[in-house]
Amino acid sequence: MSVVSNKPDKSHWYFISILGGLFITAKHLIKNLLNKDKMMTLNYPEQKFEYSPRFKGNHVLTVKKDGAIRCTACMLCATNCPAECIKIIAAEHNDPTVEKFPIAYEIDILRCVFCGFCEEACPVDAIRMGPEWQTPGLSGSAFTYDINHLAYRPQLKGGVVSVVDEVERHKSGI
Alpha-carbon separation of residue 104 from 10, 73, 101, 149, 151 (angstroms): 68, 9, 9, 11, 12
Question: Which residues in this chain contact another protein in the complex, by CB under 8 A?
Answer: 72-76, 79, 90-92, 96-97, 99-100, 123-124, 172-174
Q: Supply the minimum distance, in Å, between the C-beta of residue 149 and another protein.
A: 23
Element spanning 21, H or E: helix 14-34
d(CA 133, CA 58) in angstroms, rounded, equals 6
Q: Supply the minimum distance, in Å, between the C-beta of residue 51 and another protein.
A: 24
Q: Supply the minimum distance, in Å, between the C-beta of residue 119 and another protein.
A: 14
- Looking at beta carbons only, is 6 or 172 nearer to another protein? 172
Strands 127-129 and 86-92: unpaired
- CA 116 distance to own-chain centroid: 10
Alpha-carbon separation of residue 52 from 9, 10, 55 (angstroms): 52, 49, 5
- Looking at beta carbons only, is 120 or 142 nearer to another protein? 120
- Looking at beta carbons only, is 28 or 169 nearer to another protein? 169
Q: Supply the minimum distance, in Å, between the C-beta of residue 173 and another protein.
A: 4
Q: Comparing C-alpha atoms, which of 128, 106, 107, 145 is closest to residue 57? A: 128
Q: Exposed, middle or buried, 148 (CB in 10 Å: 0-12/13-18/19+)? A: exposed
- Looking at beta carbons only, is 51 or 117 nearer to another protein? 117
- Looking at beta carbons only, is 20 or 123 nearer to another protein? 123
Q: Supply the minimum distance, in Å, between the C-beta of residue 60 and another protein.
A: 19
- Looking at beta carbons only, is 26 or 91 nearer to another protein? 91
Q: Supply the minimum distance, in Å, between the C-beta of residue 156 and another protein.
A: 23
